[in-house]
A and B are shown apart, each in its own frame.
Chain A
Amino acid sequence: MVTPRMIPASLIPLPTDPDIAARVDAIELPFNRHGVDPFGVDKRELAKLYTLIGWFYRRYFDVSVFGQHNVPARGRGMLVGNHSGGVALDAVMVIASAFFDLDPPRLAQGMAEKFIQRVPFLAWFTSRIGQLTGLPEHCIRLLEDDRLLMVFPEGARGTAKLYRERDSLVGFGTGFVRLALQTGTPIVPFAFVGGGEAIPTITNLYKPGKLLGIPYLPVTPYLAPLPLPVSLQLLYGEPIELSGSPSDSDDVIAGHVNTVKDRIASLLSQGRSVREGRLSPEEIDFG
């Protein structure tokens, strides 16, 4: 009789902090006895991920989080916010925040760019940490499974913002509103401030990026798009419960999108004021 062995850890050589691994156990997802959930999320990969990004979140950057009580502790939720910083630093910090600042910790699952599934290792790692390709099917399935979804309606246009555009919002996609209506999901607007200072993009190289299989290659004054150890602010606003039908006309949907966009813009300017000491955190208007 051969007894089944434990499943192999991935080949990604990252350290795991035992305290963080214990906190991963508190995530309320239906992991099987090998620590893998039905979407392929692997506990051990999560522990590696949080160990790595935890260092950035708690030591490298000076991150301040406001309004985390607005994120539902359980059940479906859609975190909707702005892109800031050339390489989705915002997404990484929101994932870290949902893990370190919420009790119980939650896995924020993003809707990843399609190119990621074509890139070796990146495809593997993103699949194991629950960052699935951005498809409406995935969105609906995750929300119906009462998970926490993270959406950046600006898409890749948002991460391509230059330093001087860092606090602006570019055009929002509308799909997220229809999906929230379809699944009855509250939208938690959030703003991420400081990504532009962390990765001050002066230009984006589109052709070399294409050769590498990515949408573009951001360039900073020191060339590489590596983040600087700056202060970052993350503000979660009060949940918005939309009412209506997912098949409402574009005009109606655009109205909902603007509601969400305005709330994010308000949080964004407040976050900028807090960052620059012009507003005290107690004065933030989350609604």
Chain B
Amino acid sequence: MKVLITGIAGNIGRLVTQRLLDHGHEVIGIDRRPWYHPPEGVRVFQHDIRKRPAEDVFRTQRPDAMVHMATVTHLTHRSEDRFRINLGGTRAVFDHCNTYGVKQAIFVGRHTYYGAAPDSALYHTEAEPPMAVHTFPELSDLVAADLYAGSALWRYPNVDTAVLRMCYTLGPLRQGTLAAFLRGPRVPTVMGFDPLFQFMHELDTAEAICTALDKGLRGVFNVAGPPPVPLSVVIQQAGLVNVPIPELLFSLALGRFGLPKLPRGALAHVKHPVVMDSSAFQEATGWKPAHDEDATLLAFRTAES
């Protein structure tokens, strides 16, 4: 199978590439960022997915499947640019899939879709609407992209679309939202709160994406790894120092004293859990994480940044 990966130069993109090559697939990719030495046989087109040259890749290469990972977060991009990439880019690639006969499309989304709030339930299921987006505007474009990708299921019935809402990724690459929060040595927490955190090893993330592809999955699925653990445990097991800060001082302290900087809306995500039920994905694919929470944290901890 010929698979096109958008955002291929990212960390998970590279892991998915390797896994697909190992299983005998052909891989091509599009990314604005360069990948200087991709594995042999992998063609990387350095384009913006919203631009004409990216469409040419679909037309000339005729991939059988697409894995769409070219979305960005508030950690890397400011708001206007983010909206254009996440919404304009997602729209463009799904249109191209339909136009150029791509049979299968996977949108790699995020579990933060569900939002964190004091009155939200543990174990979100796929049917739930995105809550608490108004408290965290930096997430709204990703939520919209997730819903837009899901709409491809009825707009483009010839394309088997799967929307994967992945929990946090952690591992030796030390990249991603949670890794940025845990870059240490001190991790701010809101005093008196200790939410459950759900995360999985980056290799399991890549494996889950490839499994969805192998199984020709169709629909919206939560993808989570081992059972969630309290944030205090994550910090302790990662070998970091937990700095509990009273809520009133929390926003003031961020970005100072060696603490990471977070948008205001992220406060709720440090106070309350976002935990998903991923049984539907496991039942549909048989996928199970190969790394438990301890192995994942250990891999994160022992890999030097």
Contact of A7 among B195, B236, B298 (CB under 8 A): B236
For chain A, give the interface size range: 20 to 34
- Cβ–Cβ contact A137 & B192, under 8 A: no
Contact with A117, one of B118, B237, B297 (Cβ below 8 angstroms): B118
Residue in chain B with minimal CB distance to A11: B244
Stretch at the interface among A32-40, A226-234, A244-252: A32-40
Q: Which residues of B contact A (CB under 8 A)?
A: 118-119, 121-123, 190-196, 227-230, 232-233, 236-237, 239, 242, 244, 246-247, 271-273, 293-294, 297-298, 301-302
Given contacts A7-B237, A11-B244, A120-B246, 16 further A-B contacts (CB under 8 A): A4-B237, A4-B298, A5-B237, A34-B229, A34-B233, A36-B229, A36-B233, A40-B196, A40-B273, A114-B118, A117-B118, A117-B119, A117-B272, A120-B191, A124-B193, A127-B195
A9 to chain B, nearest CB (A): 9
Secondary structure of the A side of the interface? loop
Question: Which residues from chain B contact A124 at a C-beta distance below 8 Å?
Answer: 192-194
Q: Separation in Å of the A46 CB from the closest CB of chain B? A: 14
A32 to B233, CA, bound (A): 13
Pairs A–B under 8 Å by Cβ, sample size 22: A1-B302, A2-B239, A2-B298, A4-B237, A4-B297, A4-B298, A7-B229, A7-B232, A8-B232, A8-B242, A11-B244, A32-B227, A38-B227, A120-B192, A120-B193, A120-B247, A121-B192, A123-B193, A123-B271, A127-B196, A133-B118, A137-B121
Q: Which residues of A contact B (CB under 8 A)?
A: 1-2, 4-5, 7-8, 10-11, 32-34, 36, 38-40, 42, 114, 117-124, 127-128, 132-133, 135, 137-138, 141
Contact of B121 among A8, A32, A38, A135 (CB under 8 A): A135
Report yes or no: B119 in contact with A7, Cβ–Cβ below 8 A: no
Cα–Cα distance between A33 and B292 once the two chains are bound (Å) = 11
Q: Which residue of B lies closest to A39 (CB)?
A: B122
- Pick the residue among A8, A39, A133 that contacts B233 (CB under 8 A): A8
Q: Kindly list chain A residues whose C-beta atoms are within 8 Å of the C-beta of B233.
A: 7-8, 34, 36
Bound complex: CA A181 to CA B232 (Å): 38
Bound CA–CA A5/B298 (angstroms): 10
Residue of B nearest to A139 (CB): B121
